[in-house]
Structure 1
């Protein structure tokens, strides 16, 4: 009798522990719409309803920062758009310097924008990508020019 009680308590405790881990794990994935990009990374966005993938990168050449971004919608998406921002790090805060946008009537959208920058400053690119009624914010790695 005593062995059965111990086994029953153990099984109940195990079930409770497993269910708590599953719930907190699921909440972690749904809590953020901001994705930080690594150099050269093409991001496949998990758990998206309408966005298949997207990317945002920054590079420098001839005194310009080049921000390239793209979004691909899943099957059935008929509208996509991208808002790109060039940001500069000033006194520990990211400040928007330039903003531009592009919309398409299809399931893909891509853009490359060039902006004049100053040597010795740190910059990053931000892309707000939208497919259908879903949006994600992608942030490139920051780089000093």
Structure 2
């Protein structure tokens, strides 16, 4: 019984400390995921967002912040996907690079009603000849 009580306390402490390291935000008909990943050498923060307006305009947003002390360039490659017949199909891909430790991408695309959509973004941070990549998949938004 004593061991079981200690185990329950440890699980509770780990649950509380683990929950504080992840932040996600949902807004009406919007999906924005602010994701804090396990410590990375060059990428500090990566954000993916998708909003679909009432007239079917998908608004894609992706941003990256690298560590300013080491990152000299970043690249963002965002792909809007549609769920069709149970499979995710690429609709449109955009790419943007910055000679900075941070950058963002904002694009729009007209989508059809009756489907779910999501954004998959590949973030790359450069430090001299070294690179680090993080791929973030946003949650689906139904339209």
Displacement of 1:57: 1.0
| Greater alpha carbon shift after TM alignment, 103-112 vs 38-47 | 38-47
- Cα distance between partner residues in 2 of 1:138 and 1:38: 15
Residues 42 and 71 in structure 2, CA contact (< 8 A), matched pair in contact too: yes
- Cα distance between partner residues in 1 of 2:33 and 2:88: 22
Q: Summarize the alignment of residues 2-13 of structure 1 with structure 2, pairs less than 5 Å apart.
A: none
Displacement of 1:64: 0.8
What are the ranges of 5 or more consecutive residues in structure 2 without an aligned counterpart?
Answer: 1-23, 27-31
Q: TM-score under structure 2 normalisation? A: 0.72
User: What is the RMSD computed on CA atoms of the aligned residues?
Assistant: 1.3
Residues 129 and 137 in structure 1, CA contact (< 8 A), matched pair in contact too: yes
Q: Summarize the alignment of residues 6-45 of structure 1 with structure 2, pairs less than 5 Å apart.
A: 39=26, 40-45=32-37
What are the ranges of 5 or more consecutive residues in structure 1 without an aligned counterpart?
Answer: 1-36
Aligned pair count reads: 109
Higher relative strand content: 2
Q: TM-score under structure 1 normalisation? A: 0.71
Q: Summarize the alignment of residues 1-145 of structure 1 with structure 2, pairs less than 5 Å apart.
A: 39=26, 40-61=32-53, 62-74=55-67, 75-132=69-126, 133-145=131-143
- Cα distance between partner residues in 2 of 1:92 and 1:129: 26
Displacement of 1:127: 0.9
| Partner in structure 2 of residue 30 of structure 1 | none
Higher relative helix content: 1
Residues 33 and 138 in structure 2, CA contact (< 8 A), matched pair in contact too: no
Structure ID, larger Rg: 1
Displacement of 1:47: 2.1
